[in-house]
């Protein structure tokens, strides 16, 4: 009996297991992993607030900290194409998981004022997180990965996933209600970050940028014509890109310019705000 009691005390004194160290590319992913992993994960982000995945380069500090990570969740943003091999080399034992597994890819829209040769393939659109139903698929991938790495907490990951999935279903429903009676379903963006959102909710995004750059005078005139023809009432911009061209176009076609951030960590409230901005501008 004394031995059993001592063993019980020893077990009680054991420290809790250290959380799984996870790295992700962008802030919305951090939110997703924390919702599924809860207290059992410690998540770090490569691209911080106000930074752009298109131009980001990892710091030496980030690469050094990767040595402690057990898993890196990628999502296909631009800097990964250049840096993913170096990220993997920083920690050969770290698993690299594409969070988008099971999601059909789509191509980024080109500015309608610039036509590429028909044979030229389009660029893959990495902005899958703007669609709540697709985030559910990514959340399931997170759950499965964490469960393989840490089977002792499989039940917790499963329960957290179910709660998160229910919240995503409510978000999806709320957005559909907000957008069901809008008078026009077309909108402009400087950078085409809302394609998956548009596909999910029956909208059409029209990009302004030409190859990541502000359009020249000729292209700008063509985009203005398109905006008038498509009855565009709102142009979305984000802090990581210039809003000068958007404001010029908005003045010409009588549209509003609204700042939205697809990279915000406060995912639920951010998408609700975006949907409200869409609904108000597109009445």
Encode pLDDT of 111-121 as tens digits. Answer: 665 444 333 35
User: If DSSP codes are grouped into helix, strand and coil, which group holds residue 58?
Assistant: coil
Encode pLDDT of 181-213 as tens digits. Answer: 888 899 999 889 999 999 999 999 999 886 667
**For 17-114+125-173, CATH number?**
3.40.50.1980
The H or E element that residue 187 is part of is strand 186-189
Q: Which runs of consecutive H residues, i.e. helices, occur in 43-193?
A: 60-65, 78-89, 132-149, 154-179
Encode pLDDT of 229-244 as tens digits. Answer: 999 999 998 876 778 8
Fold agreement between 17-114+125-173 and 182-281: yes
Encode pLDDT of 51-100 as tens digits. Answer: 888 889 888 888 888 999 999 999 999 999 989 998 999 899 999 999 99
Asked whether residue 258 carries a pLDDT value surpassing 70, the answer given is yes
Domain 182-281 superfamily per CATH: Nitrogenase molybdenum iron protein domain (3.40.50.1980)
The H or E element that residue 145 is part of is helix 132-149
> Cβ(210)–Cβ(218) under 8 Å?
no
Instruction: Report the C-alpha gap between 121 and 262 in whole angstroms.
Output: 25
pLDDT band at 172 (very low <50, low <70, confident <90, very high): very high
DSSP string, 256-275: EEEE--TT-S-HHHHHHHHH
The distance between the two most distant Cα atoms of the chain, rounded to a whole number of Å, is 88
| In the chain, domain spans | 17-114+125-173, 182-281
Instruction: Report the C-alpha gap between 72 and 88 in whole angstroms.
Output: 9
């Amino acid at each position: 009996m004394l031995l059993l009691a001592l063993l019980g005390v020893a077990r009680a004194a054991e420290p809790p297991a250290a959380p799984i160290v996870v790295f992700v590319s962008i802030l919305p992913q951090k939110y997703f992993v924390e919702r599924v992993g809860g207290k059992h994960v410690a998540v770090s982000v490569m691209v911080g607030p106000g930074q752009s995945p298109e131009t980001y380069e990892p710091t030496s500090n980030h690469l050094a900290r990767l040595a402690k990570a057990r898993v890196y969740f990628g999502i296909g943003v631009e800097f990964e194409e250049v840096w993913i091999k170096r990220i993997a080399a920083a920690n050969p034992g770290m698993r690299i998981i594409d969070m988008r597994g099971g999601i059909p890819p789509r191509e980024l829209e080109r500015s309608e004022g610039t036509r590429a040769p028909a044979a030229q393939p389009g660029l893959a659109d990495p902005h899958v997180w703007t669609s709540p139903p697709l985030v559910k698929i990514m959340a399931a991938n997170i759950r499965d990965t964490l469960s393989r790495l840490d089977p002792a907490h499989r039940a917790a990951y499963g329960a957290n996933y179910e709660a998160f999935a229910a919240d995503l279903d409510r978000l999806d429903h709320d957005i559909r209600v907000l957008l069901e009676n809008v008078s026009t379903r077309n909108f402009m963006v400087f950078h085409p970050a809302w394609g998956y959102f548009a596909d999910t909710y029956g909208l059409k995004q029209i990009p302004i940028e030409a190859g990541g750059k502000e359009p020249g005078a000729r292209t700008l005139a063509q985009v203005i014509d398109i905006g008038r023809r498509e009855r565009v009432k709102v142009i979305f911009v984000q802090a990581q890109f210039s809003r000068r061209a958007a404001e010029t176009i908005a003045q010409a076609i009588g549209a509003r310019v609204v700042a939205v951030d697809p990279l915000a960590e406060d995912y639920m409230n951010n998408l609700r705000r975006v949907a409200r901005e869409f609904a108000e501008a597109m009445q």
